[in-house]
Each structure stands twice: as structure tokens, then as C-alpha cells.
Amino acid sequence: MEERKIKINDLEVNFKIGGEGMPLLILHGWGGSSDSWVKVQEILSLKGVKVICPDFPGFGKSQMPAAIWGTENYADFILNFAKTVGLERFFLLGHSFGGGVAARFAAQFPEKVESLILCGSAIVRNRKLTFRQKSARFLAKIGRPFAKIPFVRGLIYKILGSRDYYLAQGIMKEVFKKITAEDLTSFSASIKTPTLIIWGQNDKVLPVNDAFLLNKMIPNSEIEIIPGAKHGPQFTHPERLSEIILNFINPVRD
């Protein structure tokens, strides 16, 4: 797997590339990077797939954006990235936050996407708040004075179910707030590209029910649930995840 750097709109962008054949572009989740997908990249690159995985601006070894980006900006970034590295048409896989960007991209630029894979994707944002989420908002308000205490901070993280906002640096905190406020279901309903929806059966970050909801919204879609997997099957089940990906894109490649 080779690591490269390019310039896109004055931002230095890092990405990994390996393999030969029809290209698969992988978009990582929030707090991740191209490093998150190395194992899957290695497996697929040995199976006749050219795998490209960029570090989104603000993540990994790529520079932070100068402004507060939303999914629209990240989708435009992917369009510019694809053009810069010479990708005319490609398979597109997005995980979590990257899945939301991938869904928007596929809806807006269908001519670029051969087929779409949504893995534990952050698309549905307008669901009713759970008791846990309501409690988290309350604690976030009253807990700030105590957040410097490691035990209290750990408790808040646990109840929130996410450390993403607290670990974000600089402008990325505002990017996180903007991203998580965007419901992308309207874009999903506009996707015409053949789509595979992959979800971990035990995903605690994004409920598996989202997979079935997306399957109803996206006309030409199918579902694969990975038993025992949580939100990061690329870490815990890379072989099974790679097998599912290959089974989906093989008919197109052949």
C-alpha cells in the first residue's frame, strides 16, 4: 500500500492507494483516517481491486479546512479529489460519517459512481431523541464545569456514546456540530445507483434499524448484516467485510 500527498484547493491531502483494476474509493468515518481501512485495503488490493482511501480534510495527515465544512463541502472535495487522481468512474464505499458523504455524492454525481456501498452510515439524523440522548444533552449542559475531572469526563463520554466532539480540535468541533445536524435521508431517496447496505448486527453507534430504513428509501439496494459486528467491522471483521464487498462488485467488474 502506497501513501501519497496531493494539493486540492490549497489543502494538502494524504491518501493511500494500492492494487490494480476497477477503482474503489473508500471514505472513512469521523475520527478515523485511511489507516482505519488498511486491512481491508490490503485484502481487496490482492483481489484485483484498485483501492484508494483519502484522509478527509481535518483527519489523519490531511490539513484542516479553513472554514466550517458540511457534507456538501466534503462531497465537493471528493469530486475534486477524484478528478485530481484521475478517477472517471468508480465504486464508492462510505463508513459512518463517510457514508453520509458517499450517499450525498452518489445522489448528486451519479455519473461518477459505478455502485455504492454504505457501511454503518450516518444518514438518518431526524429520529426522535432517546432517553440516553436526552440525558446526554442535559449532562453536556451541566457537566462542563466538571469535565476536566477524568472520572466525570469518562462518565459523560460513556453516556453520550461518543467522544467525537470532545476529541475534535479547533474548527473541527464546529464542523462536527454542522455535520451531525444534517439529515441526509432526502439524498438517499434520490440514489439510483446499485447500492449495498452493510451493517454490524450489534452497532451501538447507529442502530441497525437504519439499514432497513435505507433499504426502503433506496430503490436499487440490498442489505448485508454482519453477525457479531459493531460499528467498526473493518477492524473486527475485515475478511468477512472484504468478502461481502467483493461479492457485490464482482458482477460489475466481470
Would you state the cell numbers that stand for residue 103, as one nine-digit string? 450517499
- Rounded-to-integer distance, Cα 167 and Cα 249, Å: 35
- Rounded-to-integer distance, Cα 29 and Cα 111, Å: 24
CB 246 within 8 A of CB 47: yes
Q: What is the pLDDT of residue 138?
A: 54
More confident residue, 59 or 131: 59
Q: Using CA atoms of 239, 184, 165, 28 in order, give the dihedral in degrees to the nearest 10.
A: 30
Q: What is the pLDDT of residue 252?
A: 47
Does the pLDDT value for residue 36 go beyond 80?
Answer: yes
E strand map for 65-214: 90-95, 113-119, 195-200
Range 2-125+183-253 has CATH code 3.40.50.1820: yes
Q: What is the pLDDT of residue 128?
A: 53
Sign of the alpha-carbon torsion through 51, 183, 188, 109: negative
DSSP 8-state secondary structure symbol assigned to residue 123: -
Domain with CATH 3.40.50.1820 in the chain: 2-125+183-253
- Rounded-to-integer distance, Cα 95 and Cα 97, Å: 6
Q: What is the pLDDT of residue 77?
A: 98
Mean pLDDT of the chain: 89
Place 132 in a pLDDT band, splitting at 50, 70 and 90: very low
Q: What is the pLDDT of residues 14-26, one digit of tens each?
A: 999 999 998 999 9
Average of per-residue pLDDT across 146-172: 64
CA atoms within 13 A of residue 205's CA, in its CB half-sphere: 22
Does the pLDDT value for residue 148 go beyond 70?
Answer: no
In terms of Cβ atoms closer than 10 Å to its own Cβ (0-12, 13-18, 19+), residue 159 is: middle
